[in-house]
Structure 1
Amino acid sequence: MLEEAVVTCPCCWEEIVLELDLSGGSAVYTEDCSVCCRPMVVRLTVGEEEGQFEVQVESEEG
């Protein structure tokens, strides 16, 4: 199941849209910002109910 989430890049502070695959469950991965191309850590937490999720992003640099 794919969902979209609007997040703020922790590097350039621009709002970007992430496409999230909830079918794989919770995950932590690195994705480049579509605006500034800097890497950010994406923390996806998938809830037990269908469509329930939380996403957080932080700079890979800390």
Structure 2
Amino acid sequence: MTVDCPYCGEAFEALADASAGDADYVEDCPVCCRPIAFRLRVDADGTPRLEARREDD
């Protein structure tokens, strides 16, 4: 999934494994190296939704 870094604004490809259901995790931006808090939610039909926000929000 493509996401925009909430710090530097650069778009990058984030990997998300929806097979285990909902998940919260932190991953560093590959451009600016700041920590991004990801929230993965899987809808009832199996569609994944990935939200990226600043870790300090």
TM-score higher than 0.5 here?
yes
Q: Report the aligned-residue RMSD.
A: 0.9
Runs of 5+ unmatched residues, structure 2: none
The alignment's TM-score, normalised by the length of structure 2, stands at 0.91
Q: Distance in 2 between matches of 1:20 and 1:40?
A: 14
Q: Out of 12, 17, 22, which is 1:21 matched to?
A: 17
Offset of 1:21 from its aligned partner? 0.4
> 1:19 is paired with a residue of what secondary structure?
coil
How many residues were matched structurally? 57
> 2:15 is paired with a residue of what secondary structure?
strand
The alignment's TM-score, normalised by the length of structure 1, stands at 0.85
Q: Deviations over 1:8-61 (max 9, x none)?
A: 0001000011011011100111111111110010000011223x0111110112
Q: Out of 51, 54, 59, which is 2:54 matched to?
A: 59
- After TM superposition, which residue ranges in structure 1, 4 or more long, deviate above 3 angstroms? none
Q: Distance in 2 between matches of 1:35 and 1:56?
A: 18
Equivalences for residues 11-50 of structure 1 within 5 A: 11-50=7-46
